[in-house]
Chain A
């Protein structure tokens, strides 16, 4: 069965370190998204991609970057982790303009 997986599921890191969260989907979807979810804010869009070599900034992109070298993967990098980036991160993928988005199980990141 096709799926979307995130790794790691939990991570603790120190302020200033570079961190990369992995997202891998086997749906063969063109669209991939990264969100962060914080209490009171819901899901906020960090970056998104509509295909290989395409990346776009979302609502809260500062301090984050992504790259899309193939269809299956969209890793999210925190260049220099900050305590404000402590959050739950969700990756999602969808097909087409009105396609249902499928979400990974989330990564809980704590920056100390």
Chain B
């Protein structure tokens, strides 16, 4: 299989920093995406990592270690509107590239 694991729920305080981890099977791995999904809405793209290292985009950063099968999404200066589910998705090759999602991490930001 192509198991993708991430924590089910996390809570954090407004203004703080939170790190959401994701692990995946390395066989056939071809890139990793993070999506944000507010309740009742469609997922929206946050970041894409294909090489090792940190990608920074405003308050959000994403890190990838291909050898360890590990990624994290870092959210800084948390705002109430960041309360959402964060979906880790890995792309696997094998004739075709396909995007497989983890179950998502539900983040609750409190005042």
Contacts and interface: CB of A to CB of B under 8 A. Distances in A.
B48 A98 contact: yes
A45 B31 contact: no
Interface string A75-112: 00000000000000010101001101111111000000
A73 B64 CA distance: 34
Nearest to B88: A42
Nearest to A96: B97
A9 to B, nearest CB: 11
Contacts of A97: 30-31, 91, 93, 97
Interface in A16-75: 33, 35, 40-45, 48, 50, 56, 58-59
Interface string B70-100: 0000000000000000010101010011111
A103 B98 contact: no
Contacts of B15: none
A43 B48 contact: no
Chain B interface bracket (under 10, 10 to 19, 20 to 34, 35 or more)? 20 to 34
Main secondary structure of the interface of B (DSSP, over half): strand
B98 A45 contact: yes
B50 A105 contact: no
Contacts of A50: 96
Main secondary structure of the interface of A (DSSP, over half): strand
B48 A104 contact: no
Given A103-B42, A106-B41, 12 more contacts: A40-B103, A42-B102, A42-B103, A43-B87, A45-B100, A45-B101, A56-B96, A98-B97, A100-B48, A101-B33, A101-B45, A102-B45
Interface of B: 30-31, 33, 41-45, 48, 50, 87, 89, 91, 93, 96-104
Interface of A: 33, 35, 40-45, 48, 50, 56, 58-59, 90, 92, 94, 97-98, 100-106
